[in-house]
Amino acid sequence: MLSACEGTTFQSSVPAYPVRVSIDTRVGQWVHFQPTATGEYIVIDKNGYHYHDAIVAPLNATDMWGYAGIVVYINMMGGYDAYDLCCPNCASLRQPCEINGIFAVCPRCGEHYDLGSGTSAPQKGIAHEYLRRLNIINADGKLTITQRQ
């Protein structure tokens, strides 16, 4: 017998801020951001879209980037994942984690979140929550990232 989880009582330490971003991997600077490019990522924050640590596109008027910016990451399974970059352990500071290989690293407390596995699980035991996961839809190469309901 299977049961469903309705009405969960979990509350993330990271506030739910609006997220709305679209990335079309079929055109322009995003054509190399394909599921076969494991470990690649795009960071979106108030300064724009960052790819390979360089700003490659400005924000659109309708873009919303969550509480501390977001990362769209291609995990080891070749799937796209998206997370708010705010460390749950340091949420009140609204400082984004930095990407270092397969990890999002909090510059304040030093927690490492495993992005490569597709879970964002904390690795050092400093934090007890995963990064806030975002909803990502891949429709024929057009990625749409929004806040989970």
pLDDT tens string for the chain (149 positions)?
Answer: 455 555 556 678 999 899 999 999 999 989 999 999 999 999 999 999 999 778 899 999 999 999 999 999 999 999 999 999 999 999 999 989 999 999 999 999 999 999 999 999 999 999 999 999 999 999 999 999 999 87
3-state secondary structure of 129: coil
Q: Containing H/E element for 105?
A: strand 103-105
Angstrom distance (rounded) from CA 91 to CA 51: 24
Give the phi and the psi of residue 56 in degrees, each rounded to 5: -115, -15
Two tokens at 75? 């995990």
CA-wise closest residue to 87 among 125, 127, 49? 127
Could you tell me the fold of the domain covering 19-146?
Rieske Iron-sulfur Protein (2.102.10)
Amino acid present at 137: I
Tokens 């340091």, residue?
Answer: 90
Q: Are strands 112-114 and 121-122 parallel, antiparallel or unpaired?
A: antiparallel
Give me the residue spans of the domains in the chain: 19-146
